[in-house]
Amino acid sequence: MEPRPLLTGDPAQVGSYRVAGRLGQGGQGVVYLGESADGGRVAIKLLTRAAGEEDRAGFAKEIELARRVKAFCTATVLATGELNGVPYVVSEYVDGPSLARVLAERGPLRQAELRRLAIGSLTALAAIHQAGVVHRDLKPGNVLLGRDGPRVIDFGISRALDSSELTGDHLVGTPPYMAPEQFGGVGSGPPADLFAWAATVVCAATGKPPFGSGDLPSVLNRILTAEPDLGDLRGDLRDLVARCLAKDPAARPTAARALLTLLGHPVPPQGLLTEGTRSASPPSAGARIGEAPSESSPSTSVPGRRFGWRRLALVGAAAAAVLVATVAVTVTIKLARTTTVTGTAGTATATVATATATATGPSGSPSAASSGAPTVSVDEVIPTTATTTAKIPETKITLHENPADPVWVSSAYGVLPLGGGAPAYVRDAKTGKFEYFGNFQQPTVSPHGTYVAALSTTTLNRTDYNTIRLVTTATGEDVELRTADKPGDTIGTAWNADGRHLLMTIYTGKADSRTMAGFVIVDAATKSVRTRLTAGGYKGGYSWGPDASTLMRQERDGAISFVGLDGTVIRSFRGMGDLMHRSAATLRIGTETATVFSTVCPGKPRDVCLWDVVTGARKAVVPGDENTTFSGWLDSEHILALVTKGGTTRVVLAGLDGKTKRVLAEGPAKQLKATSLWYSWK
């Protein structure tokens, strides 16, 4: 489907995307073909100015639902925002026709291509359901046959803009694909999606839905009373489809159970979606379902999926529940603009002087969360008296603050609420209130709050490439940037002191032998991404060095290296212990000011040693004890630390002698252990 020319009044630019043509128009929105700065194709859905407040609210709600899932046999949401007060969403462009179009032009699917369609669409449903979302309108028109396999689209926007569910006097869905309970006022749940999936597979195999089509009363009567016509479907696929078309929703299998049935062999829960995606992919990268391989077929063998699709979708897929169980964070100390504080399964991050944090990510792989190395002046010293309190939502964690503080907790993630779950919150700079940001997100705010970068734990299950979510706070632009290709995971976010550049570490290898493989630097202002694969580095991740052109890492032999942005080693030091939360920090030590990096002191694992970044000379030792975990520097004269006694953990401001000057936050040890508090410059 080629785009149509733009009309007078159509935008030439939406966010950072150039508008290239029109793909379609509905009652309250227009879908455009867009291009990213690197030439990738995207689909842009822009509400019309005539859309009412209810439509806008529904649009925002569906975007939030879509953020829960990532792309397994679906299309990825790349960005959201507003253009002159009108909301928009940018999504991946899938280069392929709909199943409905293929059936109309070529007829029913057969054998292997039918099975790939069934597995791919079922994989998408399993992913959507794992994220707590229901599609509600699965049908041939909402399945695209891309060159890398089938994709399910339109679960979100269609519900917000063009929906039709049976709620009161309104019908939601497409009648020939709707389950009996939907006509009885019960509404849509996961079992209704399984019914629609089975009806879609029957249509793909026979050219018509199992209960026929025509006027609504006739279709409704057959769905409620008649047996489905399954045509010449055979074997396990026929049996599964029949079970999914049961009148009683309780008799239908879950999407995950149905997918296991089609795969035909045991698959660990954490690998189910990956195996489903693999099994749904065509044997030739250039041949989609419904099309024979051809030498002229465009290839999609490049890393990742092609950015291009024909209709807007707000679905992706991610095993969020599975991933949460595999991600634990362990933080020790941090010296950088971003300081991470924590116990064993979380981080509290502070961003002021210079801080570094070592976090244990998936399968025990360490990652850095750190920032640049600003010089802290005397007037930036944090007061030692708190005058106000604030609460982290849904928890018993209390923040003790002073309006004169140059830093505050700007985000909290991995939160363990009183009622369970894993929400993330970002603080509104104007009101000081914590606003819900999403589940399974790790948002970190840049110095002075211009940007919010968020890693989603669900991206760890992707098989194509890694992504980072970037929100511009002033405009609300919300983009998802592609970082490093798989295999390997991009973990940890470290803002530089300039508040513009973000550093992440690439890890490869199996769970028990994961090692550093490179780094990614994102320019938040231009939305550009630089990826560098490197041979050096062993554990703990990359962190910012004493300036924006230098990084730090620990080598396999224990040496600590300063590295240029091209990956070359500038200088190395040996015999200094394990590098801690890595960024270099400019601190006041005694009567002098020195730029240092921190390590666990050799032979004294409770103490922190500070070393000159140029000469390697030891500048100071910060003493520790069995109850205190040092977590970086909040200003030029004070450290950030965790103190746990009994069932309570406190985040404290302490002097170089280790004595507490002020409590910054406190709460149940279990909650603070599972929660990351991110401190940043106001």
**Catalytic residue set:** 137
340 in Cβ contact with 371 (< 8 Å): no
Burial class (CB in 10 A: 0-12, 13-18, 19+), 644: middle
Instruction: For residue 317, give both structure tokens.
Output: 């897929």
> What single-letter amino acid sits at 263?
L
SS3 193: helix
Instruction: Say which residues have a Cβ less than 8 Å from residue 309's Cβ, sequence separation at least 6.
Output: 43, 75, 91, 92, 93, 94, 95, 96, 144, 146, 151, 153
> Residue 265 half-sphere exposure, CB side, CA atoms within 13 Å?
4
Distance CA 294, CA 283 (A): 12
Distances (CA, A) of 269 to 121, 126, 256, 274, 316: 18, 11, 9, 10, 18
Could you tell me which of 347, 367, 370 has the C-alpha nearest to residue 545? Answer: 370
CB-based burial label for 459 (10 Å; 0-12, 13-18, 19+)? buried
Phi-psi region at 217: left, alpha or beta (left = phi > 0; alpha = psi -120 to 50): alpha
Locate the DSSP E strands across 460-591: 465-472, 478-485, 489-495, 501-508, 515-523, 528-533, 539-544, 550-554, 560-564, 569-573, 585-589
Question: What counts of helices (H) and strands (E) characterise the chain?
Answer: 12, 38
The DSSP 8-state label assigned to residue 382 in this structure reads P
Distance CA 361, CA 547 (A): 26
Return the structure tokens found at 56: 């806008």
Helix (H) or strand (E) holding 400, with range, is strand 398-401
**Using CA atoms, how far apart are residues 253 and 251, in angstroms rounded to an integer?**
7
CA–CA distance, 315 with 77 (Å, rounded to integer):
7
Cα distances from 245 to residues 175, 226, 229, in angstroms, run 14, 11, 11
Burial class (CB in 10 A: 0-12, 13-18, 19+), 24: middle
Q: How far apart are CA 270 and CA 167, in angstroms?
A: 36
Residue at 601: amino acid letter: C
| Whole-number CA gyration radius for the chain | 27
Dmax of the chain from CA atoms? 89
8 A C-beta contact, residue 540 and residue 331: no
Q: What is the DSSP letter of 308?
A: B
